[in-house]
A and B are shown apart, each in its own frame.
Chain A
Amino acid sequence: MPMAAVDGTGHTVRYVNRAFCLLLGKPEEELLGKAFSSVVPVGDEFLSLLGRVYRGEGPETHTGPEHMASDSFYWSCAMWPVVAADGRPVGIMIQVTETTPFHRQSTAMNQALMLGSVHQHELTELSEALNEQLQTEILERQHAEDELRQANDDLSQFSYAASHDLQEPLRMITNYSQLLIRGYRGRLDDDASLYVDFITKGTRQMRDLLTDLLAFAAAGARGLEPAERVDLNLIVQTALYRLTSAIEESGATVTTDVLPTVLGHDTVFVQLFQNLIGNAIKYRAECAPRIYISAQKMDTDWRFAVTDNGIGIAPEYHQKIFGVFKRLHGKSIPGTGIGLAICQRVVERYAGRIWVESEAGRGATFYFTLPAASEEKP
C-alpha cells in the first residue's frame, strides 16, 4: 500500500515507501526532499485538503481518478496529521489505496446493471408495441365484424322493404290483368289473350321472387329472440309436410338418420331443409328421387348431408349456385334462384358452412354444419 509522509507547509516529501515509488514510477531519490505537489500531479483540491490536515483540522480522504498515471487508475487517498509530542502537527501521512479493481468491478456491475435495464426497457417497449398492435388488430376486427353485422342487417332490411313495397304494385298488375280477362271474355282476340297470359305468368314469377326474397331477408335477420334448442327431426317432418304434393308427384322417397338437437330457430331451419329437399326433388333424373338425410358429429358442430340421385351439378358451378338469383336451368325447371342463397344465409347465421359435392349426372350431396346444443338437457 503506497504511503508517503510530508512535513512543513510546503508538504515536503520526507518518506516514501516502495509501493509509493512503484505507484509513481519514480525512484526514492527523485521524490525525497521535493514538494509533494511537484512530484505528484495533484490538483488544488488535494493541496487544500493537505493544508487542512496540516492545520489540524482533522484527517481527510480524497478520491479521484485524475491525478495518477493513467485515467483507468482509481485511487482513494487518506491523509492524517503527524503530530509532535506537544500536539503540533509536523507533517502528514498520506496513504493511497487503489480502488481500480473495485472501480472496475463497480463499473462492470454498473454497466451490467445498465445493460440489464436497457434490455428490460427494450423488452418492455417491444411488448408494449406488440400489445398496441394486438389492440389495434382486435379493434379493427371488431370494427369489421360490426360492419359485417350492419351490412347483413341492412341487406335484410332492404330485402324486406323492397319485397314488401313491391307487392302492392304487383297486386295491381295481377288483379287488373285478371279483371281484364274476365271483363272482356270473348271480346279479346287471340293476340290480346296471349298478351294477358304473359302478363299473368310474369306476375306469378314476380310473386315467387318476392316471396323468396322475403324469406332471404328473414333468413339472415338477426332477430331479437335468442337461439333455442331445436329438434331437427321435427323440423324435417314439417319440411316434408310442406313438400307433400311435390313428393307425391315425383314418387320421391326420403329417408333420414335420427337427427340431433341443435341451437337455432325453427322457422329458418324448416326453410333450410325444405329448400334442400325440394331441390333434390326438383332436379331429379329420369328415375324417382331417392333422398337421404344424415348427420355426423364433428367436435362442437354437427355436419349434415342431404344426398340425392338427381341430375347432379358440374364442379364449375359449385360456387355459383349459392348466389342470389343464380340458376343453371331455364324455364324447364321452375325456381327463383334464391333457394340455395337462403340456405347459405341460414347456415352462416349460425357460423356454419354449406357446400356441395357433385358431378353432372351423378346426383348431389349438400353438406352443411350447425352448432350442437350442449349436452345437458334443460
Chain B
Amino acid sequence: MSSETVTQRFRILLVEDNPGDVYLFEQALKSAGLDFELTVIEDGAEALAFARRQGKYAEAAVPDLAVLDANLPKNEGVEVLQAIRQSEHLSSIPVAIMSSSVTPSDQEKANELRVERYIAKPLDLDQYLLIGETLKQVLRERAARQ
C-alpha cells in the first residue's frame, strides 16, 4: 500500500441517525480535502448487520474508517463498536466515536474498546469542520502502518 494518501479515495462508514449531522460530516470531510466514498447507515440494527456481515452486507467492502454516533437510541453505538471489534474482517479498522458530550467515563470506556478518537460534536461550525482534519490524520496514520 503506497504511503501517498492525499489522493487516495477512502471508504468511510458513518453510522448516524441524524440527517443534519450526516450533511455536516460530509462538509467536514470535503473541507479537509479528502477524496472519499461515504456509506451511511442510519439504523443501529442495520449497522450491527454490517459489522457481522449479515444479509445484504455479506460482501460489503471493508471500510478504511468507521465513524459511529454514540447517541444512537438504545445504546447501539457501543454495541456496534463491540461487534466491529469482534468481527474478523473489521476488527483492525480505525473507529472514531462522535458524541454530543464527552465525560471522563465515556473516554475510559472508549479507550477500553480501542477507539482512535473520541470526538465531541461541537456547537460551532468551524470546530465541526475541523473534524475532517482530525479524521484525515487518523487515515494517514493507518496508511502509514500498513
Contacts and interface: CB of A to CB of B under 8 A. Distances in A.
A176 B20 contact: yes
A40 interface: no
B24 interface: yes
Contacts of B124: 174-175, 178
B137 interface: no
A207 B71 contact: no
B100 interface: yes
Nearest to B120: A167
Nearest to B104: A267
A26 interface: no
B74 to A, nearest CB: 15
Contacts of B27: 179
Contact of A167 (B20, B24, B101, B126): B101
B100 A167 contact: yes
A178 B23 CA distance: 14
A336 interface: no
Interface string B111-146: 000000000011111101000000000000000000
B91 interface: no
Contact of A207 (B20, B100, B123): B123
A214 B128 CA distance: 22
A304 B122 CA distance: 37
A261 interface: no
A171 B123 contact: yes
Q: How large is the interface on A (under 10, 10 to 19, 20 to 34, 35 or more residues)?
A: 10 to 19
B39 interface: no
Contacts, number: 35
B101 A203 contact: no
B71 A168 contact: yes
Contacts of B128: 175
A203 B123 CA distance: 9
Contact of A164 (B18, B24, B100, B125): B100
A172 B121 CA distance: 11
Interface in B3-52: 18, 20, 24, 27
B101 A164 contact: yes
A171 B121 contact: yes
Contact of B125 (A168, A175, A207): A175
Contact of B24 (A175, A182, A203): A175
A259 interface: no
B125 A174 contact: yes
A112 B118 CA distance: 86
Interface string A299-321: 00000000000000000000000
A78 interface: no
Nearest to B125: A178
A174 B123 contact: yes
Interface of B: 18, 20, 24, 27, 71, 100-101, 121-126, 128
29 contacts: A164-B100, A164-B101, A167-B101, A167-B123, A168-B18, A168-B71, A168-B100, A170-B123, A171-B100, A171-B121, A171-B122, A171-B123, A172-B18, A172-B20, A174-B123, A174-B124, A174-B125, A175-B24, A175-B123, A175-B124, A175-B125, A175-B128, A176-B20, A178-B124, A178-B125, A178-B126, A179-B125, A207-B123, A214-B101
> Which 4 pairs of residues, A with B, have the shortest CB-CB distance?
A178-B125, A172-B20, A167-B100, A175-B125
